[in-house]
Amino acid sequence: MDSVLHESPYLENWRALSLRIRCALDPDEPRLIEHYLAEGRYLARFTATPKPLIAESTFRLLIDTASDTALPWHWRCLCLDQAWRPLRDMQALAHSPVQQERFQAFAQRLATCVLKPSVVLTEPEAPNPQNAPPTASERRRHS
């Protein structure tokens, strides 16, 4: 019971990090992913949070983020590059045939993951007064 009482702040921090990763709130900070993975390892080792839950949640976060075309390309690549880590943990934890099947499904998902290009978000151009069509009064003056 003692570990469950101390689990909450660590679990909250891990979830907050997952939100920052999933939404690419710090896409130029690749250490964020390593920090998230380290927090997950801590949860798995020192709290009552089930290890398979941590591994699967981590894998899903990384593969879903990598597949999200609305996020920056380099961030998606970083997430995909790290997805093998929780997958390795799932493999080590897969003792029953059901768990092994589950691991195989996730491994297949990683093996067949193809990244589509990220959507390029552009801001609308500000109107340029020099390129604007002449107004009616300007046309009359030049006639």
Angle formed at CA 98 by CA 94 and CA 104, multiple of 5 degrees: 65
Residue 3 pLDDT: 47
Give the Cα separation of 5 and 118 in Å (integer).
42
Residue 78 falls inside a structural domain: yes
Q: Supply the mean pLDDT for the chain.
A: 88
Residue 70 pLDDT: 95
Residue 137 falls inside a structural domain: no
**Is pLDDT above 80 for 137?**
no
- pLDDT category at 124 given cuts 50, 70, 90 is low
Residue 60 falls inside a structural domain: yes
Residue 138 falls inside a structural domain: no
Residue 68 falls inside a structural domain: yes
In 3D space, the residue among 58, 51, 67, 65 whose CA is nearest the CA of residue 99 turns out to be 51
DSSP letters spanning 99-143 = HHHHHHHHHHHHHT--PPPPPPP-PPPPP-TTTSPPPHHHHHHH-
Give the Cα separation of 34 and 60 in Å (integer).
16
Amino acid at 25: L
Interval 20-64: pLDDT, tens: 999 999 999 999 999 999 999 999 999 899 999 999 999 999 999
Angle formed at CA 83 by CA 82 and CA 88, multiple of 5 degrees: 105
Q: What is the pTM of this model?
A: 0.79
Residue 1 pLDDT: 42
Q: Which residue has the tokens 């949070």?
A: 49
Residue 16 falls inside a structural domain: yes
- Report how many domains make up the chain: 1
- State the angle between helix axes of 31-46 and 73-82 in degrees (0 to 180), rounded to the nearest 10: 30
Residue 57 falls inside a structural domain: yes
